[in-house]
Structure formats: structure tokens, C-alpha cells
Amino acid sequence: GAVVSQHPSRVICKSGTSVKIECRSLDFQATTMFWYRQFPKQSLMLMATSNEGSKATYEQGVEKDKFLINHASLTLSTLTVTSAHPEDSSFYICSARSGATIANEKLFFGSGTQLSVL
């Protein structure tokens, strides 16, 4: 099956620093990538949707200046948490879609990034 690679898997940083998380589709072209946030023992919350070559669409309540998303190519999307604070500590997971419409297995997930801000 298709593979989505997410890096790093875990990052610990000091408050005030910025952290970049990469999401790569390894064997398919991802027209759309999604970024989710997951708090402990909770569900996945969609943060933003990014389409290659255009600005990301953010969900209500998500600060676009804090969570910068870049989808520069059909295989790479990055999420940068700027000036991270302890409340940004969370599990971030990306997913990528190869087709024009969402259907069964055509939404592939990365392995997630656990961000801990000290």
C-alpha cells in the first residue's frame, strides 16, 4: 500500500522555538494533505487542509500564523509550529490523499509526531 512518511516522530523543544514537521508521500502524488492534532486519549482534530501550490485552509479556531503549512510539492507538506509554547504540546499527524475524492483506503496517514514543549 501507499506510504506516508512523517518526520520527526518525536521532538522536545524549549518554549519560544519553532518546530518543523515534514510529511512526505513516498510512492504517490498527494494532491491534498491534512494535518491533525490529537490530545491524549482524544480523537483527531483536523487543523488544516493543504493543496499543492496553494494556501492552506485552516479550521475554525486554528491560528494560521502559529501553525504554518507549506505544500510546496506533490509529495511534501510541512507544518511549522512557530514560537511553540507548552500548550502546543500534542500529537500531530498528517494524512495524504491521492485521488480527487475521498474513498475507502485512499487516505493514508503518517506515523505522527509527538511534540513536547518545555
Note the residues at the interface with another protein (CB under 8 A).
9, 32, 34, 41-44, 46, 49, 91, 93, 95, 97, 102-105, 107-112, 114
Nearer to another protein, 43 or 61 (CB): 43
Do residues 47 and 62 make contact, with C-beta atoms less than 8 angstroms apart? yes
Closest approach of Cβ 22 to another protein, in Å?
A: 16
Closest approach of Cβ 84 to another protein, in Å?
A: 19
Nearer to another protein, 86 or 101 (CB): 101
Return d(Cα 91, Cα 111) in angstroms, integer: 10
Nearer to another protein, 15 or 55 (CB): 55
Q: Which residues pair with 16 in a beta bridge?
A: none
Nearer to another protein, 83 or 111 (CB): 111
**Cell 504554518 found at:** 68
Closest approach of Cβ 103 to another protein, in Å?
A: 7
